[in-house]
Amino acid sequence: MKVYLETQRLILREFTEADVDKLVNLDSDPEVTRYINGGKPTSREYIIEQVMPRIMQYYSELDRQGIWAAIEKGSSDFMGWFHLRPNRQDVAETELGYRLKQNFWGQGVATEGSEALVKKAFDELEVDVIVAIADPANKASRRVMEKIGLSYEKEMMEPDGFVIVKYRLERRDYFKL
C-alpha cells in the first residue's frame, strides 16, 4: 500500500484490487451519485472491468497523479477518494476531484484533502493549472472549490450532455494567495 499524501485527518493511498467492494459501496449510495449520474448505482462489474483498470493505469502511466483512496486516520475507515489527474477535455489542465461517503460530509474533509492536493500540485508537481467541475446545483462542492482558492470560470456542456460548472486556479495566482 503506497501512501501518496497525509493530512491531519486523512491518508491518501493507492487503491488495490481489494478495494473493489469499498468502491461498490460508495457508488451504491444514491445521494453520493446524485450529482454525477442522477443517483444511479455503479455496478460491481463496471467497477471491476472499467473503474479499477483505469485507476491502476494512472499509477503506471502518470507521474504522481491519479486517484487515491481516502482513509481516515485513527479508524482506518474508507472515506471515499480524491483525484488529481490530467483533465480529459484539456490535458494542459490538471483536474481535482473527490467523492466521499455521506457520513464524512460537512466535516471539512473535502476541503482538507483538496487543499493538500492543490498544495502538492503547485509546490511539488509544478502543475500550471488546476480545474474542478461540478453539477451547477451541487452547492457543497462549489463551496469547497471556492474555499480552496479556485474561481468560477464557466458553465458548459460535457460531451455526454451533462451541464457542469468549471472552476480553475492558475499557478501564478496560487502563489499570490
Give the model confidence (pLDDT) of 120-159 as tens digits. Answer: 999 999 999 999 999 999 999 999 999 999 999 999 998 8
Of the given ranges (20-34, 104-118, 150-164), which has the lowest mean pLDDT?
A: 150-164
Q: Report the topology of domain 3-174.
A: Aminopeptidase (3.40.630)
Q: Please, which pLDDT band fits residue 85 given cuts at 50, 70 and 90?
A: very high
| pLDDT above 70 for 24 | yes
- Say yes or no to pLDDT of 177 above 70: no
| Those residues with Cβ within 8 angstroms of residue 10's Cβ, 6 or more apart along the chain or in another chain | 70, 71, 72, 73, 79, 109, 112, 113, 116
Dihedral sign of CA atoms 11, 12, 13, 18 in order: positive
Q: CA nearest 95: which of 117, 111, 79?
A: 117
pLDDT in tens, 2-23: 999 999 999 999 999 999 999 9
Domain locations along the chain = 3-174
Mean pLDDT, all residues of the chain:
95
